[in-house]
Amino acid sequence: MSKSLWILFLSLHVGLVENVIGSTGDRSQVYNQCLALCRNSNCEDETDFKQRPPLSLILLQWSCKEDCSYICTWRTVDTFVFNGLKVPQFHGKWPFIRLFGCQEPASVLFSILNFYAHWTMQLKFRKRVNRANPMFYAWAYFSIICLNGWFWSAIFHSRDRPFTEAMDYSCAFSMVLTLLYCMLLRITCNKNKLFIIITCGYISILCSHLSHLWSGKINYGYNMTFNIMIGLTTFAITSLWWYINRNKLPYAYLIAWFNVATIFVTLLELADFPPIFWILDAHSLWHASTVPLTVLLYRFIISDCSYLEMYYNKSLLVFNHHTQ
């Protein structure tokens, strides 16, 4: 078939197809014909291969049906590109090169780097901050939430399954909400009534949102919107706190820069383009940008906890002086 006829055929198929579920790539006849041939040639059934697959596919539990989908994705991409058409999406996602069985290798790598950044910085935090510090346990809890979140991010981007997707969305929401919670505790430090109110609100929102996520009532778009709303709330509150305390606290600029940088890198999530080298997409670049932001945030946390320790030690000395 000539190139012009291929373009006409594919364009008509994309434009006239009635099935609106899916994306251009997985709706195309090229993809579906390839899928049927691949399954007949390579698969005993939807799960089992006729021949033993590579070890990486076994370890990450790739089914024969999923492997055929991957093979046919690239054959379809090659056909589209060869005939001058745009790179298509498949099931709402851009095509990625599979590496060691991982579906989105760049996002996996950057998730691991984020985990490492939180791990090393929380070790510094625990080494420099006394357990008696009023914010020690709040920020230690935040570190655990983030380590868990980036662990599941790496798992999800390795293998996109309903369970790993739910864990990724749940943990991402938990990280965003917990940062807001800890900042509110810091701003209202040592006010017991507000501590109880804030903690009850935090637990209520967290449990409600997670239950909706797991019941399937919240999709990725809604969850992302909710995360952005909480992030903007954190930005507004902490920016106001920084403005009020900018002359009093010389390290307060750290949280201001963290806020500004977070807003800018979050804009990457709004970008939508085929992966660079079939590996780097907007989402993976966003994961990459959060690694230095983690260091910046922990620098603020450690500096602020050092200030609180010094402040409360001075307050205790003044109190003891007046009581003598």
User: pLDDT tens digits, residue range 124-171?
Assistant: 999 999 998 889 999 999 999 999 999 999 999 999 888 898 889 889
**Mean confidence (pLDDT) of the chain:** 84
CATH 2.40.160 fits 105-322, yes or no: no
Full-model pTM: 0.84
Position 219 scores a pLDDT of 66
The Cα-based distances of 115 to 66, 118, 121, 147, 198 in angstroms read 28, 5, 10, 6, 27
Of the candidates 3, 23, 15, 17, which has an alpha carbon nearest to the alpha carbon of residue 88? 23
Q: What percent of the chain has pLDDT over 70?
A: 87
Residue recorded with tokens 């709706």: 27
Question: How many residues comprise the chain?
Answer: 324
Low-confidence ranges of the chain (pLDDT < 50): 1-21, 316-324
Q: What region does 61 belong to: left with phi over 0, alpha with psi -120 to 50, or beta?
A: left
Position 129 scores a pLDDT of 92
Of the candidates 255, 249, 257, which has an alpha carbon nearest to the alpha carbon of residue 306? 249
Position 314 scores a pLDDT of 55
Helix (H, G, I), strand (E, B) or coil at 112: helix
Distance between CA 210 and CA 166 in Å, rounded? 9
**Helix (H) and strand (E) counts in the chain:** 12, 0
Position 272 scores a pLDDT of 79
The Cα-based distances of 116 to 79, 122, 140, 295 in angstroms read 40, 10, 16, 11
Distance between CA 57 and CA 67 in Å, rounded? 8
Distance between CA 103 and CA 72 in Å, rounded? 15
Residues of the chain with CATH 1.20.1070: 105-322
Distance between CA 96 and CA 73 in Å, rounded? 9
Q: How many CB atoms lie within 10 A of CB 112?
A: 16
